[in-house]
Amino acid sequence: MSEFILTATDANFQDTVKNVTDKPVFVDFWAPWCGYCRRIAPAVEALADELDGRIRVAGVNVDDAPDVAARFGVNTIPTLLLFKDGRLLGRPFVGPRSQADIREYLSIHGKGDGVLRKSILQELKYTEIRIQHQQGVRLTAV
């Protein structure tokens, strides 16, 4: 697990997620036996590394924190949530397929946070340009 991902439990969820007011908190609900969670983990870790300082990332092992999972109605994993000033922003994201899906979720639900939104939108634009270049699309500066 990335050094930038905090572990949230039933005991510390309030302090790790809900009481944070200086930046958004992105929460990944997962379990070690969940193959799909292990498959998407590198994308979550890459975003945690990239967005360090602009967003806090926390992982909740649903086996170790069943009360937190139940409180937010997490019945399927992986499930992603985004909090700002202790409030849940938008809807839970169940079963992200890729890092791009997670970026889109953060962009849409983090639109109240200008720094997060700008960072994600810039990265999405860069990714789109890179894909177009790889596909042989001629790009012109505007």
Select which of 6, 8, 17, 34 is catalytic.
34
Select which of 37, 43, 57, 102 is catalytic.
Answer: 37
Distance CA 68, CA 121 (A): 31
Beta-carbon contacts of 92 under 8 Å, excluding residues fewer than 6 positions away, are 72, 73, 74, 79, 80, 81
User: Please, what is the Cα angle at 97 between 127 and 132, to 5 degrees?
Assistant: 25
Residue 86 is among the residues annotated as catalytic for this protein:
no
DSSP state of 28: E
Q: Is 94 among the residues known to form the active site?
A: no
DSSP assignment string, 83-124: EETTEEPS--EES--SHHHHHHHHHHHTTT-HHHHHHHHHHH
- What are 81's two structure tokens? 């949530």
| 99-109 vs 35-50: helix crossing angle, rounded to 10 | 60
Catalytic residues: 34, 37
